[in-house]
Structure 1
């Protein structure tokens, strides 16, 4: 059986658990449940309660009292956010976008009077999936949407030009647009994920994973897939190396995330049954296919 990785970021683990198993749930959940379930991730009661308090202060949980007992309910904002985030994470790598060969190139020059805007435009460009080819020259293989164009214009930089073209590079010293993206820097993440997921699949096939381990491994698999999705450059398949392992990693993600679901849900139901047996039926999680079928309507108001 594979070794479990150390748990870091108790708040993020808590939000991930809520977003994975309590989508759409409006019921109040006893704090003792969170203490019990987070103990499976190696967190003490004090650490679990501190994480609850911090998440509540951030506006994701609404606390209430019943006598001396504390309960928490997901806020509407948190429910929409968690469903959106779950879909973003789980859908990553499902398909490649079709590409027409066109690049979007943003060039800008920031004078000293506007130097405070340099960090802002770089941050926006990174969020929009651009890579920096040279200082002041950013590229990506996708057109700009209206909201993205507005976001760039609203920064207020005086000198900025956006080109849309299929560039033919006459000559370049490491100036291929693909060089703006750290493609090979992501390969170790994919290789590690493939190795670990393969071990988990072998353990599943040998029936060697307990419900406790299944819950933890499923959440950790989602965490690792999120890290890959956030690090992976959004490039079309034509621009990636021929041996790029994303498709292999994606198949293993589906195999582990879906294959661990039954045992992980059993563990979650065990925990909720100890403190709120009436909530056992609400514990459920979506498969990768069910996540793919989620629509936008529930979070458009964000």
Structure 2
């Protein structure tokens, strides 16, 4: 047991040294993944205690939450000398939008439908406005197939409209549904994939994820410390979130047969549920002293990554490393 704990702690420490998480991004990850299902609020002192083992000191955290409030990601409440934090309305909406990409992935069925966004010039402020819209649409998964033309291979009109509404440009762009009609005669949209999306870069990130976290899964056992389990959960989801929010999550039909994202997502879900109970125990030990703001986990948390498989969770944690190296 001690050897296994030592191995796991070495893997955690090595990851923190090699790729320390950014404080602002880690706060958003924890509030969405761990705090949200328990009511969504956390005292600053408790947040400090949660992130300190992950390499974030108190001064850096205080600066980060201050900036997240200024950027409308978080909102704070003063209770005497104490501060309570939660996601703002804007932060909650952005987190909801991201959750499907993080925990669900792309739909398995695709009927060949596309969403197009066409952007004309916006007067004298054309360049800055177009750059802002381009950045937001690419973050949402759209690819630029031509100047002022963005496409995503599924029905995502609501996502495009939210982006345009956020930038107050709903009346300055066209959002269209489309279906490819060339049917092999002429340019095929699939041939534009490498031009529109950096799939090679995303594939490398998925492979790096598997190389990093498969050994952690192999090092688990039922007796690991709750604090270790929480660290693994936080670092896993933090890294996973960073990758999938840059992945357009194209339909399976448009991806290579050996796409490393499939193996990485399976690994992430298996690791998430393998340490879930111990990670929740750590949260309970730290936060359950405030039952007003810390509540029992909401049922939706158990639907993540396809739903919890209690029969699989009862088995010893191990992972097929040959499968990971495909």
The two structures share one fold, judged by TM-score above 0.5: yes
**Equivalence map 1:127-276=2 (5 Å):** 127=139, 129-143=141-155, 145=157, 148=160, 151=164, 154=170, 156=172, 164-168=179-183, 170=185, 176-179=191-194, 180-205=196-221, 209-272=224-287, 276=289
Give a deviation string over 1:239-279, Cα, whole Å, max 9, x none: 11111122221211111111111222222233336xx4657
Name the SS for the 2:144 alignment partner: strand
Distance 1:169 1:290, change over 3 A: closer
Q: How much does 1:27 deviate?
A: 8.9
Gaps of 5+ in 2: 1-6, 308-326
Q: How much does 1:154 deviate?
A: 3.2
Give a deviation string over 1:63-102, Cα, whole Å, max 9, x none: 3233xx4131436627844762573354242x53422234
Name the SS for the 1:166 alignment partner: coil
Q: Indicate conservation of the 8 Å contact 2:75/2:86, yes or no.
A: yes
Distance 1:26 1:92, change over 3 A: closer
What is the CA RMSD across the aligned residues, in angstroms?
Answer: 4.1
Name the SS for the 1:247 alignment partner: helix
TM-score (norm 2): 0.69
Q: How much does 1:146 deviate?
A: 6.4
C-alpha distance in structure 1 between counterparts of 2:294 and 2:136, whole Å:
43
Name the SS for the 1:63 alignment partner: strand
Q: Which has the larger radius of gyration?
A: 1
Distance 1:13 1:168, change over 3 A: same
TM-score (norm 1): 0.74
Name the SS for the 1:167 alignment partner: coil
Name the SS for the 2:271 alignment partner: helix
- Find the counterpart in structure 2 of residue 77 from structure 1: 89
C-alpha distance in structure 2 between counterparts of 1:54 and 1:219, whole Å:
21
Distance 1:161 1:35, change over 3 A: closer
Distance 1:104 1:62, change over 3 A: closer
- Find the counterpart in structure 2 of residue 299 from structure 1: none
Q: How much does 1:7 deviate?
A: 3.0
- Find the counterpart in structure 2 of residue 297 from structure 1: none
- How many residues align structurally? 287
Q: Indicate conservation of the 8 Å contact 2:197/2:248, yes or no.
A: yes
C-alpha distance in structure 2 between counterparts of 1:52 and 1:111, whole Å:
35
> Which of 31, 38, 51 is the aligned partner of 1:38?
51
Q: Indicate conservation of the 8 Å contact 1:29/1:73, yes or no.
A: yes
